[in-house]
């Protein structure tokens, strides 16, 4: 098969479409013939040499895919999946390829009403958003939820899911065009972080009960000031650095909590539990049309460098798909 390799860390042009051996499914894995994958910021960090794949993961980038089951590996014969089934999957790596071996617990059916290629836009954002809003953040109906980077892959999904839970949704983004798209997706409060102080605005709006943050260090203090009493901050990205000072006095007084998580490094059993939660609680919303995949553009997988250039320019809103 062919896959995108990263022979050395560097800019987008190091990504090379290379002939490599086919993956062989291990115990508990299923082989998937990939129709599409999608770009994630983590892939950019991996290409730059800043986010090595966890031990045992494929060396090729790619954290999600859609396609058809090509073969059942040992121990998956009774899993209920059959050769030829259309699927999408959460991956620990290996999505930038023609085939990938996937732990069976990370497979999801393609939701009714979603195309096979389009389905590649869903697994990573659905699992990240569901696990952090429901399992970690405990978002409830009537609460105010703030997501930074509302136009991102994560943000466009989080807006729709939080609205479906009955939350009031606030977003930050760097352009009015992205904020307009966020509003169409259901955001109630839109903040252009280049022209407005999000902390002042959130305080004027009564504060946030939950913040999903992708910036990390540069936003820690402002996030803590934006939370209301009993507020929760969940950090999932470090685009603004990994170090910061926090005012613990503010945290005590407002009884705040700070969580930080990554999906990729969770053990397979936790990923399977998250995938099962998504199937039960998110897929019905997708099948009803309450949540739709937000696809900015499709780029041929062999031109993954172009997808990375777009992602690094932040010109996109939603997901960039990589197609066969």
Ligand X SMILES: NC(=O)c1ccc[n+]([C@@H]2O[C@H](COP(=O)([O-])OP(=O)(O)OC[C@H]3O[C@@H](n4cnc5c(N)ncnc54)[C@H](OP(=O)(O)O)[C@@H]3O)[C@@H](O)[C@H]2O)c1
Q: What are phi and psi of 271, to 5 degrees?
A: -65, -40
Nearer to ligand X, 48 or 175 (CB): 175
Q: Please choose, out of 102-110, 112-120, 224-232, 236-244, the segment that lies near ligand X by the rule CB under 6 A.
A: 236-244
What is the spatial distance between Cα 146 and Cα 158, in angstroms, rounded to a whole number?
10
Q: Please choose, out of 135-143, 203-211, 235-243, 281-289, the segment that lies near ligand X by the rule CB under 6 A.
A: 235-243
Among 25, 29, 31, 41, binds ligand X (CB under 6 A): 41
The CA-to-CA distance between both ends of the chain, in Å, stands at 12
Name which of residues 170 to 209 contact ligand X (CB under 6 A).
172-175, 178, 193
Q: At what angle do helices 153-164 and 176-185 cross, to 10 degrees?
A: 30
**Residue 315 Cβ, how far from ligand X at the closest point, in Å?**
8
Among 256, 263, 307, 321, binds ligand X (CB under 6 A): 263
Nearer to ligand X, 99 or 319 (CB): 319
The verdict on 47 binding ligand X (CB under 6 A) reads no
Nearer to ligand X, 99 or 308 (CB): 308
Residue number with the smallest Cβ distance to ligand X: 237
The verdict on 148 binding ligand X (CB under 6 A) reads yes
Q: Please choose, out of 22-30, 91-99, 201-209, 255-263, the segment that lies near ligand X by the rule CB under 6 A.
A: 255-263
The verdict on 151 binding ligand X (CB under 6 A) reads yes
Q: What are phi and psi of 6, to 5 degrees?
A: -115, 85
Quick one: DSSP state of residue 53? Answer: P
What is the spatial distance between Cα 204 and Cα 257, in angstroms, rounded to a whole number?
21
Bridge partner residues of 9 (DSSP): none
Q: Are 84 and 72 in contact (CB under 8 A)?
A: no
Residue 164: strand, helix, or coil: helix
Nearer to ligand X, 202 or 214 (CB): 214
Q: What sign has the CA pseudo-torsion 159, 164, 165, 170? A: positive
The verdict on 122 binding ligand X (CB under 6 A) reads no
Break the chain down into helix, strand, coil percent, rounded to 5. 35, 25, 40
Where do contacts with ligand X occur on this chain (CB under 6 A)?
40-42, 124, 128, 148-149, 151-154, 172-175, 178, 193, 214-215, 236-237, 239, 261-263, 311, 314
């Amino acid at each position: 098969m062919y896959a995108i390799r990263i022979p050395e860390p560097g800019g987008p042009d190091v990504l090379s479409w290379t002939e490599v051996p086919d993956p062989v499914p291990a115990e508990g894995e299923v082989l998937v013939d990939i129709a599409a994958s999608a770009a994630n910021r983590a892939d950019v960090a991996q290409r730059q040499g800043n986010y090595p794949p966890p031990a045992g993961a494929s060396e090729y980038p790619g954290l999600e895919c859609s396609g058809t089951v090509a073969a059942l590996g040992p121990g998956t014969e009774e899993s209920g999946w059959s050769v030829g089934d259309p699927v999408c999957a959460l991956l620990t790596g290996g999505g930038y390829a023609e085939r990938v071996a996937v732990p069976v617990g990370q497979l999801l059916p393609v939701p009714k009403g979603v195309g096979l290629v389009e389905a590649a836009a869903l697994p990573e954002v659905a699992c990240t958003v569901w696990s952090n809003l429901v399992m970690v953040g405990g978002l409830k109906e009537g609460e105010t939820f703030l997501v930074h980077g509302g136009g991102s892959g994560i943000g466009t999904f989080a807006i729709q899911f939080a609205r479906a839970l009955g939350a009031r949704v606030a977003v930050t983004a760097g352009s009015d065009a992205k904020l307009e798209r966020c509003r169409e997706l259901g955001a109630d409060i839109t903040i252009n972080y280049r022209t407005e102080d999000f902390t002042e605005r959130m305080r004027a709006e009564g504060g946030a009960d939950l913040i999903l943050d992708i910036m990390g260090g540069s936003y820690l203090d402002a996030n803590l000031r934006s939370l209301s009493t009993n507020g929760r901050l969940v950090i999932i990205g470090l685009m603004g650095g990994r170090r910061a000072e926090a005012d613990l006095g503010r945290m005590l007084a407002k009884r705040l909590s700070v969580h930080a998580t990554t999906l990729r490094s969770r053990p397979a059993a936790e990923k399977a539990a998250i995938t099962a939660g998504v199937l039960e609680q998110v897929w019905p919303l997708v099948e009803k049309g309450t949540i739709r995949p937000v696809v900015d553009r499709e780029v041929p997988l062999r031109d993954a460098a172009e997808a990375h250039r777009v992602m690094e320019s932040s010109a996109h809103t939603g997901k960039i798909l990589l197609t066969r």
